[in-house]
Structure 1
Amino acid sequence: MKASKIAYKPVGLALGAVSGMAAGLAFKQAWKMLGHEDDAPDATDENRTWREVLVAAALQGAIFAVVKAAVDRAGAATTRRLTGTWPG
């Protein structure tokens, strides 16, 4: 295993935590704008329809994936700028 890959592991873990928090905040804001409610429906909430629950889950998954990819890519690009090697 390359030294740069080993050195990047803790950075990648930290970026993963940050991206998770950022995605959670982004989803809350998106749901408020789209759903006009403060809280997204819970899968076990019997007062919500299947459609509401599944749309919320799909939106949350999409936002999480985009934020994670953007943060991971930015971290790798920054690592290359600082060290001259791509961490992957």
Structure 2
Amino acid sequence: MSGWAGRLAYKPVGLLLGAGAGLVAGALFKQAWRLAGHDDDAPDATDEDRGWGEVLAAAALQGAIFALVEAAVDRAGAVAVRRATGHWPG
């Protein structure tokens, strides 16, 4: 499979993996936020009842978890495609 055809074939797989990664990351973030001793719901940036520290800590934790899960899922998907096709998607 040529380079552009491989990238095109990987697009739907990548979209599905991305959606799944978002669901997993959201669940992991909620669990991590609870384990950190906070309320069930993380604060929004515009939540006036929460302080700067709590809002920024929640954003940093959420961003780190989402980036980690996304990278792990993308890498695993690329490895799976390479095993199946013999070509790296990208």
TM-score when normalising by structure 1: 0.94
1:50-69 matched pairs, under 5 angstroms: 50-69=52-71
Amino acid in structure 2 at the alignment position of 1:77: V
C-alpha displacement at 1:46, in angstroms? 1.2
What secondary structure, in the 3-state scheme, does the structure 2 residue paired with 1:42 have? coil
| Structure 2 residue runs without a partner (length 5+) | none
Match of residue 27 from structure 1 = 29
Amino acid in structure 2 at the alignment position of 1:68: E
**TM-superposition CA deviations, 1:25-50 (whole Å, max 9, x none):** 11000000013321111211111110
- Separation in 2, partners of 1:11, 1:51: 38
- Separation in 1, partners of 2:42, 2:27: 12
Runs of 4+ displaced beyond 2 Å: none
State the Cα RMSD in Å.
1.0
Percent identity between the aligned chains? Answer: 69
Match of residue 6 from structure 2 = 4
C-alpha displacement at 1:6, in angstroms? 0.8
Amino acid in structure 2 at the alignment position of 1:86: W
Higher relative contact order (CA 8 A, sep 6+): 2
Amino acid in structure 2 at the alignment position of 1:33: L
- Separation in 1, partners of 2:46, 2:73: 31
TM-score when normalising by structure 2: 0.92
Amino acid in structure 1 at the alignment position of 2:38: H
